[in-house]
Structure 1
Amino acid sequence: MRLVIIGAGFAGMYAALSAARLRDIHGVSPDTFEIALVAPEPTLVVRPRLYEPKPETLTAPLSDVLNAVDVTYLRGSAETVDTKSRTVTITTATGTNELSYDRLVVATGSRLFRPDIPGLSAHGFSVDQLDDAVALDKHLHGLARRPAGNGRDTVVVAGGGFTGIEAATEMPARLRAILGKDAKPRVIIVERNAAIAPNMGSDSRPVIEDALRRLGIETRGAAGVASLDEAGVTLSDGERIEAATVVWAAGIRAAPLTAEIPGERDRFGRLLVDRDLRVPGVAGVFATGDAARAACDDAGNYALMSCQHATRMGAFAGNNAAAELLGKPTRPYHQKVYVTCLDLGEAGALFTRGWERKLEIVGDDAKKTKREINTVWIYPPKAERAAALAAADPEQVVNL
């Protein structure tokens, strides 16, 4: 029997480890029960950190940890899924192959939503995927070769949510490191809602607004980007901003492969799943991470498209897919604890707890927590069998 997991992000990695854990608990041989992970590279991209400098360093190898728990890695991109024949079509460097499955976990993550705005595809940057972040970093370093003026030192960040705020608050220090300590970068956040950080809650918003003031970051509320060109942006209210750099950070959608699964989806393209993370009406298919809309509790809270939810969801999806194959009880996904740690660049950070985002820590203390999250908690476990399997207990993963 074979369990196939598509995706090597946080959800896919933990799905593989958790399935291997259950297989190990019940003493089933990898020769009898194969767990196969399909991804273009055996690498975890540490996506939550892509707003930082040197994004090319923000990856973690997975080959050793997968080998340690007897998970088969298959290099390639899943292109299509036939849920009737239970096969996945995979494109590799040498051609196209079909891979059969007995259970499938869709952990394909999400992609930045790029609307059809004139000039966005040609002139907009992002911190969404590794290649995007590397391209932005290269562009920023290239600014040093340009003459000052004409918006060279101006960055417009489109989107005042979590990603946009972290990208914007990191930008002044990044630009001074590139252009010189005497540079006076201008950073502007453009947000369609009236207020920046519309979902961060009333406790956090004053802290964020104070941090933006301290960093000299301007805001444009109740406005959107109408068009881009190589010299800057025009906003929906008609304002023109000369800017050499525009970073798009205005929303994400589930990766396109979810459309291959004949299940219901929400407005973000996520597959609707039951409490075991199965796709209802599609035999043998589970969805997890950013590919799934899953209830976290009985109070009406649903998992967000974040690594915090993806890691735990992945562990439950992998466990449950393996449990079905082994004839063992499944474990309903639950995640009642939710925290937020928002980086504010040189102004520190903030840490909240609960769905109501109750503010707990700010400033340097919150920054220490953010560094620990970014450099320890979200990285793969050690490539040692016992440690890797223990880390994938679905009841323990990211249970802050």
Structure 2
Amino acid sequence: MQQIIIIGAGFAGMYAAIAAAKVRHDQGVSPEALRIAVVSPEPHLVIRPRLYEQKPETMAAPLSDLFNALDIHYIRGRAETIDTAANTITVVDADGKASTHAYDRLVLAAGSHLFRPGIPGIEHAFSTAQLDEAVALDRHLHALAAKPSTPARNTVVVGGAGFTGLEVATEMPARLRAILGDDADIRVVIVDRSASVAPEMGAEPRPYIEETLNRLGVESKLGAGIGSLDGKGVTLGDGEYIESDTIVWAAGMRASPLTAQIPAERDPLGRIIGEADLRVPGIANVFATGDNVKAATDADGHFCLMSCQHANRLGSFAGHNAATDLLGLETKPYDQPSYVTCLDLGGDVALFTRGWTAKVEVTGADAKKIKQEINTVWIYPPKADKETAFAAAESVRTINY
């Protein structure tokens, strides 16, 4: 029996498994001859793009039925080591028991984690980067209702004015009022070292974002950043102190530490510099995907981002290529020429842009409808039947937004 092991059950890992299973099915290879195995602590897909919302504990979609329908083997546990010389990985389960698994092809789709810089007191900050962290923030917010009304209780500071920081900050006023009451004197402050909000999106969307922040009463403290935290508030880089019981860090991600166990070149985010078919240079039987790879999306100098939009397609290519390569078939070069964003700005407002220059196409309630479609339909796993799942894997590999 030959085996493809996929580390990770996030967007990239899920679609890698589906795409590999499709190749196996299309080539008439039995699951007994080619086993496709997914390694993750739990058999579910965390809907990470929605963790800024309320009730984050509901943002996990089960994958067991999908895996069973597609004859995908599931290994419960956390991948701890990768030995590319021996072609094995070590998995540790919840009880601490280690097991070793051999692979013929490996797909690294282990995701990413929040980067917490060496800011004094950063351990006091919450985040929405992982499911358990988002749940902890939500519980903390609800616990505020039992505290006396003070400026610290009523103030949330968000570190980072990028995509994630903006979605957290603009969701927060309504979220806090639902907990503390409509009469609560809510203050939300977004802080960033950059001179503007959403610096990576460019100039065109900025006026609409700034207008929305003003309408919601979300303050922007730019050009200074967070200098330190003390559990009672934050000190900004310019010396200003803001009392706050709730600081949310939303500035920067890094690839899984597992990427460092593979002898390959990595970018400053820890992502492996992948070949065109997402193979790891110099290691013919290992593919990197999702947040673990830096790959060109087109011939114009653009590269994939740490987003589910790229992870879905990257995963489908990686799984397809791992399976076709193992079966002696030709691999396909990854590409993703189209790029869109849909930024939630709280309430019934969102912002939809197209292209790397972030050309604004839809705003307000119409954009919100698109965001809701993305958040409740597009990013969820396909139905647990072969025809639907295989079509979904093919679609994310060919769709142009």
1:116 aligns with 2:118: yes
1:307 aligns with 2:308: yes
1:363 partner amino acid: G
Distance 1:395 1:171 in 2: 32
1:23 match = 24
Distance 1:398 1:171 in 2: 34
The within-5 A match list for 1:30-45 is: 30-45=31-46
Distance of aligned partners of 1:374 and 1:392 in 2 relative to their CA distance in 1, 3 Å threshold: same
Q: CA deviation at 1:61?
A: 0.2
- Range moving further from structure 2, 194-203 or 318-327: 194-203
- Range moving further from structure 2, 179-188 or 126-135: 179-188
Q: CA deviation at 1:117?
A: 1.1
Q: CA deviation at 1:340?
A: 0.2
- Cα deviation digits, residues 203-259 of structure 1 (max 9, x gap): 100000000000000001101111111210001110000011000001000011111
2:372 match = 371
2:261 match = 260
Does the 8 A contact of 1:381 with 1:387 survive in 2?
A: yes
Does the 8 A contact of 1:50 with 1:58 survive in 2?
A: yes
Does the 8 A contact of 1:232 with 1:244 survive in 2?
A: yes
2:207 match = 206
2:344 partner amino acid: D
CA RMSD of aligned residues (A): 1.0
Distance 1:143 1:39 in 2: 34
1:103 match = 105
Residue 199 of structure 1 aligns to a residue in which SS? Answer: helix
1:223 match = 224
Distance 2:267 2:397 in 1: 28
Residue 92 of structure 2 aligns to a residue in which SS? Answer: strand
Q: CA deviation at 1:77?
A: 0.4
Q: CA deviation at 1:184?
A: 2.4
- Cα deviation digits, residues 372-395 of structure 1 (max 9, x gap): 000000000000111111111166
1:389 partner amino acid: F
2:141 match = 140
Distance 1:66 1:397 in 2: 23
Q: Say how many residue pairs are matched.
A: 399
The within-5 A match list for 1:220-299 is: 220-299=221-300
- Cα deviation digits, residues 189-211 of structure 1 (max 9, x gap): 00110111101122100000000
Does the 8 A contact of 1:341 with 1:351 survive in 2?
A: yes
- Cα deviation digits, residues 107-158 of structure 1 (max 9, x gap): 011100001111111x100000000000000000010000011411000000
Q: CA deviation at 1:183?
A: 1.6
Distance of aligned partners of 1:155 and 1:112 in 2 relative to their CA distance in 1, 3 Å threshold: same
- Range moving further from structure 2, 11-20 or 322-331: 322-331
Distance 1:200 1:298 in 2: 20
Distance of aligned partners of 1:82 and 1:24 in 2 relative to their CA distance in 1, 3 Å threshold: same
Distance 1:215 1:350 in 2: 15
TM-score by length of 1: 0.98
Q: Which runs of 5+ in 1 are unaligned?
A: none
Q: CA deviation at 1:283?
A: 2.7
Residue 279 of structure 2 aligns to a residue in which SS? Answer: coil
Q: CA deviation at 1:361?
A: 0.0
Residue 152 of structure 1 aligns to a residue in which SS? Answer: helix
- Range moving further from structure 2, 63-72 or 90-99: 90-99
2:241 partner amino acid: R
Distance 2:49 2:200 in 1: 18
1:179 match = 180
The within-5 A match list for 1:59-74 is: 59-74=60-75
Q: CA deviation at 1:347?
A: 5.5
Distance 2:201 2:230 in 1: 31
Distance 1:169 1:128 in 2: 17
Q: Which runs of 5+ in 2 are unaligned?
A: none
- Cα deviation digits, residues 299-334 of structure 1 (max 9, x gap): 100000000000000000000000111111111100
Residue 110 of structure 2 aligns to a residue in which SS? Answer: coil
- Cα deviation digits, residues 94-117 of structure 1 (max 9, x gap): 510000000000001110000111
Residue 44 of structure 1 aligns to a residue in which SS? Answer: strand
Distance 2:232 2:150 in 1: 11
Name the % identity: 61
Does the 8 A contact of 2:382 with 2:389 survive in 1?
A: yes
Q: CA deviation at 1:399?
A: 3.4
